[in-house]
């Protein structure tokens, strides 16, 4: 029997991402991380397809929780809450027994780009969608994936008894409750962030019965029940453990940073992971093309820009060049548009990677550095668009002087940090906590167990604090070189 280190209550925050599941055991009072468990996922597909078996997510959750509890050395009796934050947009279709009918279509599956364009045209164009959902359909959005399924696998679509997002699927396995939250629901393009409800007109156009969808809880912190007996046995936990509604990964990261909705935050967030994301917490509801007008987990708004090609694309270049990811130099005239999976921002779903500016003197390190620059440029340009949509001039000194919060796996890499500093010209704060999605989920779990506000909990835990790096002079030459290359190449990338 494992000795118990402490009888203090703990909660479990789960980050079910594209590549893996991570489970944190967190002290419910202090936010101290007791242990981390991890289990990998498998992603399959080619020619734009990206799929995963949802049953593997459940197996990975069980494995990660078991590993974390074993490392923490705590008794299962002191666990008071659990919450799941999941990769956004994925389409999970289930039968009447709540078993997957097929592999889930993931957020970075670009096969549904034609369906996204058709949806945009059919229901009022960009302006119509922005007014209704706050977002314009792109291939990533769940509504486009549902239309793809109807068009390409009609027999499967006709037999669907339940439609879920990835985190909904896992929350239902834990609690038995068919519940989602406003944050993750806002990434479907069938949820209206102005009315906080599913849009009946969009559902009719999609041929999607609302009865197939989960109920939308008031927030991701809402207690939706407790562990079912089956889930408790599977996890080795008591059935009375509180289960929160949970949320999407970006919304959970915002909670983990202690971001509320008092206004545009002083530290906009740049997340460098498989994808690149930028987001800001606000009480206003911005609506702009190219920007996802998401809801936040706490009932405010989380406008977000997302790029498909970030850490994974840069790592692919490192592999092709036979280099370590940190073995990079400045591009030195080389431009890389690393759109290996197509791209979401800008909306170029059929694009491929582009390398230009090679000379005899170009080194492999220059090419890798240019891949970093191209990925960082794409993310930072999305940030400028986001700030503009929130009513701020991104070039104004008062805005540029605000530090960026840099999170995600890339935030731990020296080349990523320096590339973002150089291309943004802004100070950069790197939080000491590295698992902000899982920490945000832990705050939601603690809220479900205690009734306290999750953002206030995370703020008290101090999980958003970290080192601030001073700004460096903005590399205008590289910025304009990449911008000009993208402008010239965009027509051919649309093909």
Residues annotated as catalytic (active site), given as ranges:
249
Check: CB of residue 52 under 8 Å from CB of residue 42: yes
Check: CB of residue 82 under 8 Å from CB of residue 315: no
- For the CA atoms of 258, 262, 266, 270, the dihedral, rounded to the nearest 10 degrees, stands at 60
CA distance 95 to 247: 23
CA distance 164 to 140: 15
Check: CB of residue 227 under 8 Å from CB of residue 67: no
- Which residue carries 């034609």 as its tokens? 114
264 token code pair: 């545009």
- For the CA atoms of 318, 323, 327, 331, the dihedral, rounded to the nearest 10 degrees, stands at -50
Q: Are strands 404-407 and 428-431 parallel, antiparallel or unpaired?
A: parallel
- Which residue carries 């998401």 as its tokens? 294
Numbers of helices and strands, H then E, in the chain: 17, 24
Q: For residue 446, which of 3, 139, 5, 8 has the smallest C-alpha distance?
A: 8
Check: CB of residue 79 under 8 Å from CB of residue 238: yes
293 token code pair: 């007008």
Residue 131: how many other CB atoms lie within 10 Å: 12
350: helix, strand or coil: coil
Check: CB of residue 90 under 8 Å from CB of residue 105: yes
Q: Find the helix or strand (DSSP H, E) in which 297 lies.
A: none
- Neighbour-count burial of 359, counting CB atoms closer than 10 A to its CB (0-12 exposed, 13-18 middle, 19+ buried): exposed
């Amino acid at each position: 029997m494992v000795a118990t280190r402490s009888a203090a209550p703990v909660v479990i925050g789960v980050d079910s991402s594209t590549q893996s599941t991570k489970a944190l055991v967190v002290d419910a009072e202090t936010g101290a991380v007791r242990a981390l468990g991890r289990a990998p996922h498998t992603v399959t597909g080619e020619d734009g397809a990206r799929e995963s078996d949802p049953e593997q997510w459940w197996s990975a959750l069980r494995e990660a929780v078991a590993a974390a509890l074993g490392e923490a050395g705590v008794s299962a009796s002191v666990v008071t809450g659990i919450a799941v934050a999941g990769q956004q947009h994925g389409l999970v279709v289930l039968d009447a027994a709540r078993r997957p009918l097929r592999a889930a279509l993931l957020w970075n599956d670009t096969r549904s780009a034609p369906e996204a364009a058709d949806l945009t045209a059919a229901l009022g164009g960009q302006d119509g969608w922005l007014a209704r959902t706050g977002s314009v359909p792109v291939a990533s959005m769940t509504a486009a994936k549902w239309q793809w399924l109807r068009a390409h696998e009609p027999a499967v679509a006709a037999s669907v008894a339940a439609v879920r997002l990835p985190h909904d699927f896992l929350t239902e396995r834990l609690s038995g409750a068919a519940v989602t939250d406003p944050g993750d629901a806002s990434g479907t393009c069938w949820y209206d962030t102005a009315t906080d409800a599913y849009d009946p007109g969009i559902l009719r156009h999609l041929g999607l019965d609302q009865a197939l969808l989960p109920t939308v809880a008031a927030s991701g912190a809402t207690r939706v029940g407790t562990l079912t007996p089956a889930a408790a046995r599977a996890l080795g936990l008591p059935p009375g453990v509180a289960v929160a509604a949970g949320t999407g990964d970006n919304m959970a990261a915002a909670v983990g940073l202690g971001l509320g909705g008092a206004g545009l935050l002083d530290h906009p967030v740049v997340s460098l992971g498989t994808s690149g994301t930028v987001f800001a917490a606000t009480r206003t509801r911005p609506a702009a093309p190219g920007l996802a007008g998401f809801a936040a987990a706490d009932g405010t708004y989380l406008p977000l820009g997302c790029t498909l090609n970030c850490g994974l694309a840069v790592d692919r270049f490192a592999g092709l060049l036979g280099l370590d990811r940190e073995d990079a130099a400045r591009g030195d005239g080389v431009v890389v548009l690393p759109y290996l999976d197509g791209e979401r921002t800008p909306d170029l779903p059929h694009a491929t990677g582009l390398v230009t500016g090679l000379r005899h003197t170009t080194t492999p390190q220059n090419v890798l550095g240019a891949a970093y620059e191209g990925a960082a440029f794409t993310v930072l340009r999305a940030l400028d668009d986001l700030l503009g949509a929130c009513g701020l001039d991104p070039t104004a000194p008062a805005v540029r002087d605000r530090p960026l919060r840099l999170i995600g796996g890339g935030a731990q890499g020296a080349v990523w940090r320096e590339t973002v500093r150089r291309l943004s010209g802004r100070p950069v704060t790197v939080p000491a906590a590295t698992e902000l999605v899982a920490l945000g989920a832990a705050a939601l779990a603690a809220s479900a167990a205690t009734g306290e506000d999750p953002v206030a909990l995370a703020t008290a835990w101090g999980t958003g604090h970290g080192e601030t790096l001073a700004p460096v002079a903005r590399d205008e030459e590289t910025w304009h070189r990449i911008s000009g290359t993208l402008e010239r190449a965009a027509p051919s990338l649309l093909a």
